Amino acid sequence: MTPPMDNLETTVATPLGSLHVEVAGSGEALVLWPSLLMDADLWRAQVERFAPNYRTVSIDPPGHGRSRSLTREFTFDECARCVVTILDALGIRRAHFVGNSWGAMIGGTLAATYPDRVHTVILMNGTASRASLLQRIEYSALITVARLLGGIRPPLTRSVVRAFLGPTSRATRPDVVRQVLDTATRNEVTSVAFAVRSVVIHRPDQRRLFGAITCPALVVAGREDSTFPLAELQTMARAIPTAELVVIDDAAHLAAAEVPEIVNDLIEQFLTRHRSTEP
């Protein structure tokens, strides 16, 4: 195995193209995969908190941030294989995994399919269920409008903010609103279309698959999340035999950016209780 590096920016060739990866710190590996339309910058506060004691691995997911543009739809298993490929490239045998929304779906897939590569999973603001008819219609419309506008542009940006942020963040956290808008509008429309179809419109029901998860799992819900309301997170938690469910008030779909101190404390407490015993 390659010895860990304190700080590294690299690209890794994966089944879904070259993915941009940022590595900081040393210790047990903590892999971070963000939501649809977001990139690794979603996890800035988590990297700052955990890099002194963990080896944080922040991923720009396929077609987002500094990763290669998407040229087709994909499956969640392909995304999980991307994570395994990144772990192999960095010389990491097993890791803790933190995912938000899309990242939560991939974290569950990874833990169920590659149990020997995962210590724990923290699944935030995600789902294990298919998209509802209404959600499929809404996101199909988003793709159509984004193509007409040439990207995520006004007035579409208002819908994105409302999907990702609840009333508390929209009213009191202008820096988070700005971060969401800045990141979402940088996305290339063709990649967004492939990702939306894969993550939302054609999303599989993963409840049976998640029943195979054996590692410790923390499911985190934002009480103000309108994209995946609490009932959906409860359904996902019930599907995972090892799951604990925590609900965060005054946060919505991007809790890691909205209330980073609360999220960081939850992650730290969970990891402390489930620290790896491997040498």
pLDDT of 3 reads 42
Number of domains within the chain: 1
Q: Tell whether 176 is covered by a domain.
A: no
Q: Tell whether 190 is covered by a domain.
A: no
Sign of CA dihedral 211, 217, 222, 225: negative
pLDDT of 2 reads 41
Tens digits of per-residue pLDDT, 114-141?
999 999 999 999 999 999 999 999 999 9
DSSP code for 114: -
Mark the ranges of the chain whose per-residue pLDDT is less than 50.
1-5, 279
pLDDT of 156 reads 93
pLDDT of 254 reads 98
Q: Tell whether 167 is covered by a domain.
A: no
Residue 70: which CATH number? 3.40.50.1820
pLDDT of 275 reads 78
CA 73 to chain centre: 18
Q: What's the domain range around 16?
A: 7-130+205-273
